[in-house]
Amino acid sequence: MPIRDRALRAGAGLLLCSVLAAARGQGERSRTEDDRGRAEQMKTQIREVLASQPAAEALASQPAASDDSAIRSEYEALLKTQAPALVRIKYVQQTQGARGDYEGENEIVGVMIEPTGLVMCSNTRFGGSRGRFRSGRSIPTKIKVLVGEDTEGLEARFVARDTELDLAWVQIKEPGDRRFACVDLSAAEEPVLGQRVLTLGLMGKYFGEAVLVSEGRLAGHTHKPRDLYIFRGSLDTDAGLPVFTAAGRLVGFATLQRPEADEVSGDMSGMTTRGYGLILPAATMAKATARAKEVQATEESEEEEPTTKP
């Protein structure tokens, strides 16, 4: 029970005891009509105290001003320390399929994970797919990373993709001496069931690409098809973006998990989130990133949709 709630209950109990003791004392000292009237007044006070208990409990269940202040501080700190690592990735997706070839411009949100310009994003958002959802050869070209308020973008190359973890990596080609704000994978914490978590997202250009903080709780943990945590709540983020503790420590990344055709077997219920989302632990991401850095993107590997399988 919250400390505030316990305090209100204790205070009401003490008041009740005081009134009862006073009523007994008055009854023993005097039998006059006047004293009996005072006793009746005290009984009325007792009934008022008892009637006020539900109201006190309802009041105690509301967030205190200090709680609001603490939440505001958490949000402000996250925006200050982690939001600069969010970037936009612009690219032209070339797709070759049975119905012909086509290309189109896309823009997605990614996160800088190394100060030298390594960016990670969702493989699905980056034009990749898995299993029954594969509709042809898809190649990201003319890639640019937009950092901060930059509208031109820095040229980048495709590094690798992991179709099973739903991850993709791109590297800024010429970072020079520049060091970018990034999310540090090495400073992550292990997720904990029941933990309150926060994440960041970018709104559209119409809203000035404002950064949005949202939150939820880790409500479940599964080891199939791999180590994943399930969150519920108002956590509103896109796949491939980081998830933090209330103190701003990285715990993982939001992900999409889509089965192969033989894993679905006509039952599509396993694909729906039903109000919850999935988080890959940061340790899994760090290992995948280490493998991805060993992969050199080439036209041949792109054609085969390379994966650094876990």
Tens-place pLDDT, residues 80-121: 999 999 999 999 988 776 666 778 899 999 999 999 999 999
pLDDT for residue 154: 95
pLDDT for residue 142: 94
Dist CA 59 CA 173 (whole Å): 57
State the pTM of this model: 0.69
Q: What is the pLDDT of residues 237-279, one digit of tens each?
A: 678 899 999 999 999 999 887 666 555 554 444 444 444 688 9
The secondary structure of 157-219 as a DSSP string is: EEEEEETTTTEEEEEES--TT-------GGG-----TT-EEEEEEE--GGGTT-EEEEEEEEE
Q: What is the pLDDT of residues 135-184, one digit of tens each?
A: 556 788 999 999 998 889 999 999 999 988 999 999 999 998 999 999 99
Q: What is the pLDDT of residues 280-296, one digit of tens each?
A: 999 999 999 999 988 75
**Vertex 244, ends 165 and 195: CA angle to 5°?**
100
**Which of 9-13, 168-172, 232-236 has the highest average model confidence (pLDDT)?**
168-172
Percent of the chain with pLDDT strictly greater than 90: 40
pLDDT for residue 271: 41
Q: What is the pLDDT of residues 12-21, one digit of tens each?
A: 454 445 544 5
Dist CA 62 CA 4 (whole Å): 10
Q: What is the pLDDT of residues 39-96, one digit of tens each?
A: 677 666 656 654 555 444 444 444 455 688 899 999 999 999 999 999 999 999 887 7
Please report which confidence band the pLDDT of residue 34 belongs to, taking 50, 70 and 90 as the band edges. Answer: low
Percent of the chain with pLDDT strictly greater than 70: 63
Q: What is the pLDDT of residues 181-210, one digit of tens each?
A: 999 999 899 999 999 999 998 888 888 888
Q: Which residue has the tokens 């005072």?
A: 38
pLDDT for residue 146: 95
pLDDT for residue 139: 83
Tell me which H or E stretch contains 276.
strand 276-281
Number of residues in the chain? 310
pLDDT for residue 12: 47
